[in-house]
Amino acid sequence: MLSICNKITGTDSYLTWTGSWTWQDKVQDYLFGCPHPRSIEPLLKIHGYDVQPLIERKYLRMATELGLKQANFIGLIGPRFKEHLASYTQEMWANFEKIKDHRYTQFYYDTNDWLWTL
């Protein structure tokens, strides 16, 4: 399962892709969109994938200027972002599935989980 950072959706729950969309109370397996011990972006970059930011800088700046702590970017940007989010999630999940069973992946996450406790 791949969860989307709740800071992107502006909710307390995590929108999660499992082949279909569901809402989860906590991160299920992996996450993208914000710093987290189970984030997939750093691992994809290690394996040579080009990971572009999900949210354009101008929208991040807009949320900061408006003083939004948990901006609902789906609501702020509109349907275009919702479509982009869906395709981006599926693309990231497809790339991650290629490296998920790599011998280094589990070690990476075990180490990362431990490092985030410090």
Q: How would you write the pLDDT of the chain (118 residues) with one tens digit per residue?
A: 899 988 888 888 998 988 888 999 998 789 988 889 999 999 999 999 999 888 889 998 999 999 988 788 888 888 888 888 889 988 999 999 999 999 899 999 999 999 999 8
Count of domains observed in the chain = 1
pLDDT of residue 68: 87
* Lookup result for tokens 């940007």: 77
| DSSP H or E stretch at residue 116 | none
pLDDT on residue 109: 92
Beta strand segments in the chain, E: 2-4, 14-17, 21-24, 30-32
DSSP summary character for residue 3? E
Token pair listed for 114:
């431990």
Query: According to the model, what pLDDT value does residue 65 have?
Result: 94
Task: Show the domain range for 103.
Answer: 2-115
Phi and psi, residue 75, nearest 5°: -75, -40
